[in-house]
Amino acid sequence: MNATIFLLASGNQELMMVWKESTIEAKVIIVILVIFSIFAWSVMASKAVQMRRARKLNHYFNSEFRAQTKVLGIFDRRVQVDGCPLFATYQEGCVELDSRLKLPEGNGRRQHISLKGMEHVKRTLERVVAQECLRLESGLILLAVAVSGAPFMGLLGTVWGVMSAFGAVAIQQSATLLALAPGVSAALVTTVAGLLVAIPSMFGYNWLVHNLRVMTVELDNFAQELVSKMETEYLKDDESV
């Protein structure tokens, strides 16, 4: 226990020394990287919760949808499911289909829809699927920036710090290890900070992108299945409808 406390205290002293020896530029870069890290972890946590909730709601809604005998069964019950991409796609598609089936007087629905009307429904579903994918992708750009930009910002801080360290040695005209070590070690901290931001962001970004691709495929498949059921139940190839 005492050895652990001693090691932690020694580590804190080394970090304080490195921070003290860092240049103003290196400190600014480290602060920026810390802010990047906070935002990156926030995005990863929020997107993970969002996708987990969306996946769970998709599973429940898909089970309910397959249990319906009529394609507009859930729509007619005026069910609302917030945060479910499959439901959002279904809802917008059914709204468009319902508007095409309504009689001019507003009393009841037609038995069939024309091929032209079904094309409008298909385009609506394609638009909604694209919007849901964009909504799920929102925020990932910050992780991409952290993955690609953080190491270069760390490298910039390191190069700048090493230049300052060698410049100070040239001024002092003393190239001893004691004169170089503090400045070089302080400069290398920015590279470490950049990697500590980039590595978790890279793993989180790849995991989120994989789940997003899976969810996008599920949305596309559901939209195609929904169109097939609508065509089977309501489509009539007669432009006079």
pLDDT averaged per 10 residues in sequence order, the chain, 241 residues = 34 59 77 89 92 92 88 87 90 90 76 86 92 89 89 86 72 63 73 89 92 92 92 69 43
Task: Tell me what pLDDT residue 234 has.
Answer: 82
Q: Is the full-model pTM beyond 0.75?
A: yes
Query: Are the C-beta atoms of residues 89 and 222 closer than 8 Å to each other?
Result: yes
Q: Is there a contact between 158 and 191 (Cβ–Cβ < 8 Å)?
A: yes
Cβ atoms < 10 Å from Cβ of 170 = 10
Fill in the DSSP letter of residue 70.
S
pLDDT at 11: 45
The answer to whether the CB of 195 falls within 8 A of the CB of 147 is: no
Residue 16's nearest CA partner among 5, 27, 25 is 27
Crossing angle between the packed helical segments 177-234 and 85-101, to the nearest 10 degrees = 30
| 3-class state of residue 30 by DSSP | helix
